[in-house]
Structure 1
Amino acid sequence: MPLPGSSAVADRPVAAAPPIPHLRPRGVGGAQPVTTVELFFDLVYVFAVTQLSHMVVDDLTFARVASAAFLLLVVWWAWIYTTWMANWFDPSSPRVRGVLALAMLASLLMAAALPGALDEHGWQFAGAYVALQVGRNLAAALLLPRGHAVRDIYERLVLWSVASGVLWLAGAAVDGEQRLLLWIPALLLELAAPIAGYWRPGRGHAGTSDYDIEGGHFAERCQLFIIIALGESIVVTGATASAAGLSPTVLLCLALAFAQIAAMWWVYFGATAERASATMASCEDPGRYARDAYTYGHLPIVGGIIATAVGVDLLIAHPDHALHGVALAAVLGGPALYLAGESLFRWRMTGAHNRPGLAVSAALLALVPIGGQVSALILSAMVTALLALLVAWEPVRQTRSLSQYSRQL
């Protein structure tokens, strides 16, 4: 019975808006969980990262490094766009799960073709990639009713992925350097799309505030990809050490390699990662951070990890040899690139660079003139010492950073 002075209509509870089929519920409290479907999807990209590192190890030329870097951009773009989709769409939906399973199959075909993507397997690589990008975006658009904001985003994505897909497939039809004349513009078109707001004729640009992502889930997904890359580095070093015979020298090299990988994990998964996750979960425009700090900003971090994996593999295989060229660039440039990328990510999320990390990055590059004069073992010991100093400084830096953060609050 309504109270005096009130009405039955006024006291009637307001019904919650019905959930949209296939989408994750929003505003239900708590962060969206990472599902087993997403973790299963990631398994293909463990294989893809391994393929990229082996490409360089098997052919230590700068041309091969350039090819691997180009293909890394493509692999990352395939993974990160699927991550965006899984942030909006509910993997418990049978249709969404089916789309992700097909995306995984296309990713596997693409990853298998990576070593020969610029040679005899161009059609398999380009065809799988275009099928993944266009198919996923089209399926996502068709799963939602007309007029829905997320459908509008995916209708834009379909146009951009089809436009780049034409160039990818045309490039697969030609050989040699002519292929890159079409594939490089295709990749640049895809990389420019988020900055251009997925402009669409008659509708203009989309703003990052239109994306409505769940920031905590997105940050966790990208952190898991870092774990994938670091884990692949451990697999490579362990397998190489086992094949090399586990002599005392090899065991020492293995310990140095693990110390470097552990230091990279320590630097990334510190207070900054926690603050970044909290910012993503609570800020008004998580889509902007997801685009800037994660979609773009994580590329040098992942590239640095893969380059470091190449360096530690060469260390274990040839500890007594002096390194030159690509090998020297991997041992010194891999950690340097990683630290520069981590500092850029930190700056975008917190407004402050990792100055000690940048100092260590510069010190690593300063070792280049002497790098070719000492053995790989001695050089790697120097790299490990610098990274250890950075890790030792991290608790001090975190204490100061948290103190400043508390005063700001």
Structure 2
Amino acid sequence: MSVEIVDIQGALWSYRRRLPAYARQGCRPDVPGRRRMGETHPGLVLRGEASSQRATFLELFLDLVFVFALTRVSQRLIADFTSDERILLSEAGQTLVLFLALWLIWATTAWITSTLEPEALAVQVVVVMTVAGSMVMAVALPQGFGDRGLVFAGAYVIVQLGRTLFFLVATRGRPIPADPAAVLRVLFWAGLTAVPWIVGGVVGEGPVRGVLWSLAVTVDYVALALGWPTPRLGRARHADQPIAGEHLAERYQQFLLIALGESIFVIGITFSGGGGAFHLDRTAGFGVALLTTVLLWRIYFYRAGHVLPDAIIQARDPARLGLSAAYTHLIMIAGIVLTGVGYELFITRPLGSKPSAWLFAILGGPALFLAGRMGFEFQVFGRVSRSRVAGLVLLGAAVPLVLDLPALAVAGTAVGLLVGVALADLWRSQGRAPEPPAPPI
């Protein structure tokens, strides 16, 4: 009989461990932030050990919105590069501001679902709010510095302020027991930067909007990096925040794949939309673009991109590493998007004369990706591969040599250097055990 009782207790304990964290709150009165039996504490539910590390279907649904959003960023950049070269810098800078706002929305949402239980109703409502607001921002983005500026800024502010206020209302002003001021800090900074966002949307087209929005998005990023320091409330200590490292790493990997998928979309639409036969020069451009995308995928996932989940879990400060990875992924994704713009340019007009500004996309995109990948590699391994440094230096050194070459030849130069980086990775891995992550943070 005693053996049967032990077996039953073991089975119940095994079943309980499979339950999501929010379903086990009543059973863990000793853990901060969890409800005791009979209590009705409305606070947000922190992730538990048994919480699934996989992205939820709702999070993947959010990613679909950002697939569309990246196509709008890409198409706006293509329009920038095919316009008057004298205003390219200004136009591209505007697109960068819009892209930074979108990425911040996605990155903070990934952070929310990596620290709070994603199956909790309050968190799901916030993700749905983000889906709606991000879709409005994406639709307004092509004219974000035109007549839809207030729509873009309004959607951004509503997402940032709205979901923070919702957390306060849903939890009756008592959000996270372990850090009651967390939501208030975010609310303070979101309200502070809402002013230049809205004013910039109201003032109309012109440099004033650019200045105000550049200031606002810079403050948003700095506040996030510093833990939203707030008068009398202090700032959040990222080291004290629980983080689902595997989940957060997977979210970064998924978004980078979204960016690669968007570039494949550009390749396909550009090549298939040319009409007529598959001319040799355009077909060569198609092949170069596809090979470049494969190489970007290979360079990212070897090895740092592959072991990122283990790196965050093993880090001395997992939350800090997870937050810093958001910035390196931002750089890599921007490089992928810019590289995709180059695809459109050299597939459409592979031969003949080209504006010199096209080099910023065709060579600058891969260079930006390698720069971000170097920083990312340091975050995971505490070192940087010489092949990536050499690739970045050679991309810069190639600029004066290819000024008078057709766009397809410039793209061939870039893909040749990326092939060299990938081959160096392959050579270094021969006969060696896979390198384990060694994050310096």
Q: Please give the TM-score of this superposition, normalised by the length of structure 2.
A: 0.84
Matched with 1:376 is 407
Measure, in 2, the Cα distance between the counterparts of 1:326 and 1:35.
Answer: 42
Pair 1:71 & 2:92 matched: no
Q: Note the 1:205-244 alignment, pairs <5 A.
A: 205-244=235-274
What SS does the aligned partner of 1:236 have? helix
Instruction: Name the CA shift for 1:197/1:406 in 2 (closer, same or farther; >3 Å).
Output: closer
Q: Note the 1:9-408 alignment, pairs <5 A.
A: 16-17=28-29, 19=34, 23=45, 25-28=47-50, 32-60=53-81, 61-144=88-171, 145-146=174-175, 148-149=177-178, 151-175=180-204, 176-245=206-275, 246-292=278-324, 294-398=325-429, 402=433, 405=436
Cα drift, residue 150 of structure 1 = 5.4
Cα drift, residue 109 of structure 1 = 0.5
Measure, in 2, the Cα distance between the counterparts of 1:121 and 1:400.
Answer: 57
Q: Return 5+ residue gaps in structure 2 as ranges.
A: 3-12, 14-25, 36-42, 82-87
Instruction: Name the CA shift for 1:110/1:147 in 2 (closer, same or farther; >3 Å).
Output: closer
2:54–2:250 contact (8 Å) kept in structure 1: no
Q: Which moved more, 1:367-376 or 1:327-336?
A: 367-376
Measure, in 2, the Cα distance between the counterparts of 1:276 and 1:16.
Answer: 31
Q: Which moved more, 1:215-224 or 1:365-374?
A: 365-374
The residue type equivalent to 2:49 in the other structure is: G
Q: Which moved more, 1:65-74 or 1:85-94?
A: 85-94
What SS does the aligned partner of 2:236 have? coil
1:171–1:178 contact (8 Å) kept in structure 2: yes
Instruction: Name the CA shift for 1:143/1:85 in 2 (closer, same or farther; >3 Å).
Output: farther
Matched with 1:5 is none
Measure, in 2, the Cα distance between the counterparts of 1:97 and 1:405.
Answer: 35
Q: Which moved more, 1:399-408 or 1:68-77?
A: 399-408
Identical amino acids, percent of aligned pairs? 31
After superposition, the C-alpha distances for 1:235-268 in whole angstroms (9 at most, x for unaligned) are 0011000011333332221111010011000011
2:339–2:362 contact (8 Å) kept in structure 1: yes
After superposition, the C-alpha distances for 1:34-53 in whole angstroms (9 at most, x for unaligned) are 11110000111111111111
May I ask how many residue pairs the two structures share in their alignment? 396
The residue type equivalent to 2:104 in the other structure is: W
Q: Please give the TM-score of this superposition, normalised by the length of structure 1.
A: 0.90
Q: Which moved more, 1:148-157 or 1:392-401?
A: 392-401
Cα drift, residue 406 of structure 1 = 9.4
Cα drift, residue 138 of structure 1 = 2.3
Measure, in 1, the Cα distance between the counterparts of 2:251 and 2:176.
Answer: 28
Instruction: Name the CA shift for 1:313/1:285 in 2 (closer, same or farther; >3 Å).
Output: same
Measure, in 1, the Cα distance between the counterparts of 2:238 and 2:120.
Answer: 26
1:209–1:287 contact (8 Å) kept in structure 2: yes
Cα drift, residue 206 of structure 1 = 1.7
Q: Return 5+ residue gaps in structure 1 as ranges.
A: 3-12
1:215–1:290 contact (8 Å) kept in structure 2: yes
The residue type equivalent to 1:302 in the other structure is: I
Measure, in 1, the Cα distance between the counterparts of 2:438 and 2:256.
Answer: 31
1:106–1:128 contact (8 Å) kept in structure 2: yes
Instruction: Name the CA shift for 1:344/1:146 in 2 (closer, same or farther; >3 Å).
Output: closer
Measure, in 1, the Cα distance between the counterparts of 2:72 and 2:236.
Answer: 35
Measure, in 2, the Cα distance between the counterparts of 1:406 and 1:277.
Answer: 10
1:53–1:309 contact (8 Å) kept in structure 2: yes
Measure, in 2, the Cα distance between the counterparts of 1:403 and 1:102.
Answer: 42
Instruction: Name the CA shift for 1:364/1:170 in 2 (closer, same or farther; >3 Å).
Output: same
Matched with 1:10 is none
Cα drift, residue 101 of structure 1 = 1.4
2:44–2:175 contact (8 Å) kept in structure 1: no
Cα drift, residue 401 of structure 1 = 7.9
Q: Which moved more, 1:204-213 or 1:73-82?
A: 204-213
Cα drift, residue 105 of structure 1 = 0.7
Cα drift, residue 400 of structure 1 = 8.2
1:364–1:383 contact (8 Å) kept in structure 2: yes
The residue type equivalent to 1:16 in the other structure is: R
What SS does the aligned partner of 2:400 have? helix
